[in-house]
Structure 1
């Protein structure tokens, strides 16, 4: 009997436990479902566009907390008035008559009509900066390639006024040119800073007319990426030292100033690297002619209208363009000599002739500068002035020799740029 009672109690408690568990599960499920419903409602509500509208507005413009008179802004304002657009105008031949099967002809009888009108049209646009005002004249420095081939030149001042300009002089080797304009409307003149004192990382601004005068006085900011890059410049491939910057420089910026945050011109923007050897797009690599060189060149252009430089009076080819067989059989060079320039002709009475240089001599050094090609020879030679002496190292029939060049002869910047032969 006791066993029966105990079994009944055990079953009773087991039932209670089962009922409790079951009730808990049901309650939890209900709670979970309610919670999910609440979350779903909140999610739907948060995504729904509220009804009605706020017709009163209420948004306002707050006071500008940025420094509107920082270094960069002050620098730009101090130079902006001196920056100009340079318009290169060239003749465009236009034939009269109607277009026939064989070209332009007279519509009445079909015969050719040779009459034509030469009109000046804008061929290209660039930038420049006014750096000097003297009496009624003002002077603008720009790039040689901006004014090259022009039949007429115009300058658009910062106030939008357009004036005619005369070409005072140009130098292809450094890609610089000087223009003269009427100073009546010139209010601001830029000054040059010492480009030898710049350092990589310092802030700079480039000002000009990228893509033409429509965007005149555009300013971009960057840093000095490198102080002294060596590149081939001008039409004769002369090596020159330039400033590298990541300030945006585009077509039309050429000839405009690169300035420091004090508003001083430390370079004249000249070119940008468009792509690498793999054809990839390149950004943030622009170059400017250092101000110290700019001042030297423009002073000579004002004085002489051209740059007078020493001339050796030779024609030459790069040694790298001569086959290894010819280097051995004709030039008889030792295998240790792989770079230099080969003299192909010597002008009678020239500096080279007076020094005893001859055809097939291989120049490897001028002064303390190693000569690797025609560009490096010109760069080394142009460091000298007419009247100075320079020591030249060369090879003849496999033997090294030295001679002293008396740089008594001069030449202007015009030179031949040819893949096979170069003159100097």
Structure 2
């Protein structure tokens, strides 16, 4: 009997458990369903575009909380009035005849045609006014901006267009100085010491990228490196330049690179950037250091040109000579792989006086190793006319030295672009 009662109790509890579980499942499903319905309703409500009037959608302009007189803005304002656009005008031949079925003919019916030259804008660049003296003001820009011009014009920051005269230009450093009427000049820039700059320093580039339509455009960046060595001008002379990531585009050439005190620490040169990279590269621009700029300006103002020492030779890079010829003709030891080969010596020149001859291989000038024509010119241009320089060279496999008396000079505004370099 007890067993029957116990079995009955067990079955009763089992039923209760089963009913409880079943009720829980049903209740949970109902709760889950209700929760899903609530979430769906909320999603529909929150994503549906509200109906009604749009009058509450208006807004207003609030007071500008940004600092409008920050360091960069003040630096720009202090120099902006001195930055100009430089217009290179060149002669374009035009026919004065009328266009007929078979080409141009004169208006009187004869076959003769006449032509005249008209000045048109060939290119545009930038510049900066650095000096005002009496009725004259002086602008520094790049040589390649003014090269080949038949006339020059300068557009001032106020939009006034004035004529300009070329005081002098130097292809080796890609610099030129212009002279304009100072009547409308209100601001001049000053030069800072480019030897004191440091990588990471904030700078601004100002100029006319893509032409005078965008005059006085300012871009901001930093000094990426202060002493890059690049080839400048058309003669491949190595020069030390400032590298910056401030945007410098075509038309910026000749404009100033300034520090946050508004001082010019370099003259931007797109020519250097394009010549070096072969194409437009974002974030890499170059500027000629202000200390070099001031040195060149003062010589151009004084003499109208830059006079540098010249060896009086024509030369080729040793790298352009085959290994067989280096051994059979030049008789060089295998340890010598870089330098320049003298191909001709002008009679009475500095090299001739020092005893240098054809096929001598120059490997060193002073304390500077000579690797090619550019490095030889860079080393030579550190000397002044009248100074002495020691030259190291190889002749018939033997190393020799000689003293060069740099009494001769050459106007480096004219260059030779041929494979055989002259100096």
TM-score range, shorter chain: over 0.9
Give the Cα–Cα distance (whole angstroms) in 1 for the partners of residues 306 and 279 of structure 2: 37
Query: Comparing 190-199 with 412-421, which one deviates more in the overlay?
Result: 412-421
Query: Comparing 46-55 with 34-43, which one deviates more in the overlay?
Result: 46-55
Seen in structure 2, the aligned counterparts of structure 1 residues 184 and 277 have a Cα distance that, compared at 3 Å, is: closer
| CA-CA distance at 1:92 after TM superposition | 1.2
Query: Comparing 264-273 with 203-212, which one deviates more in the overlay?
Result: 264-273
| CA-CA distance at 1:114 after TM superposition | 3.1
Give the Cα–Cα distance (whole angstroms) in 2 for the partners of residues 220 and 228 of structure 1: 21
| CA-CA distance at 1:56 after TM superposition | 4.6
What SS does structure 1 have at the residue aligned with 2:390? strand
Root mean square deviation of aligned Cα: 2.2
Query: Comparing 281-290 with 9-18, which one deviates more in the overlay?
Result: 9-18
| Alignment: residue pair count | 423
| CA-CA distance at 1:62 after TM superposition | 2.4
| CA-CA distance at 1:192 after TM superposition | 0.4
Runs of 5+ consecutive residues of structure 1 not aligned to the other structure: none
**Deviations 1:8-46, CA, capped at 9 Å, x for gaps:** 443333333222222221111111100000000001111
Give the Cα–Cα distance (whole angstroms) in 1 for the partners of residues 385 and 345 of structure 2: 19
**Deviations 1:382-402, CA, capped at 9 Å, x for gaps:** 111111111111111111111
Q: Is the 8 A contact 1:126 1:146 kept in 2?
A: yes
| CA-CA distance at 1:325 after TM superposition | 1.0
Seen in structure 2, the aligned counterparts of structure 1 residues 403 and 278 have a Cα distance that, compared at 3 Å, is: closer
Give the Cα–Cα distance (whole angstroms) in 2 for the partners of residues 38 and 110 of structure 1: 94
| CA-CA distance at 1:137 after TM superposition | 0.4
Seen in structure 2, the aligned counterparts of structure 1 residues 112 and 344 have a Cα distance that, compared at 3 Å, is: farther
Seen in structure 2, the aligned counterparts of structure 1 residues 149 and 26 have a Cα distance that, compared at 3 Å, is: same
Structure 2 residue aligned with 1:36: 36
Give the Cα–Cα distance (whole angstroms) in 2 for the partners of residues 224 and 114 of structure 1: 57
Structure 2 residue aligned with 1:74: 74
Q: Is the 8 A contact 1:273 1:282 kept in 2?
A: no
Give the Cα–Cα distance (whole angstroms) in 2 for the partners of residues 102 and 307 of structure 1: 51
| CA-CA distance at 1:324 after TM superposition | 0.9
Give the Cα–Cα distance (whole angstroms) in 1 for the partners of residues 142 and 411 of structure 2: 17
| CA-CA distance at 1:271 after TM superposition | 2.3
Q: Is the 8 A contact 2:231 2:276 kept in 1?
A: no
Structure 2 residue aligned with 1:403: 402
Q: Is the 8 A contact 1:355 1:403 kept in 2?
A: yes
Structure 2 residue aligned with 1:379: 378
Q: Is the 8 A contact 1:272 1:286 kept in 2?
A: no
Seen in structure 2, the aligned counterparts of structure 1 residues 286 and 371 have a Cα distance that, compared at 3 Å, is: same
| CA-CA distance at 1:282 after TM superposition | 2.7
After superposition, where does 1:20-419 map in structure 2 within 5 Å? Answer: 20-57=20-57, 59-97=59-97, 103-105=103-105, 112-271=111-270, 282-419=281-418
Give the Cα–Cα distance (whole angstroms) in 1 for the partners of residues 396 and 207 of structure 2: 54
Runs of 5+ consecutive residues of structure 2 not aligned to the other structure: none
| CA-CA distance at 1:309 after TM superposition | 0.7
Give the Cα–Cα distance (whole angstroms) in 1 for the partners of residues 278 and 130 of structure 2: 38
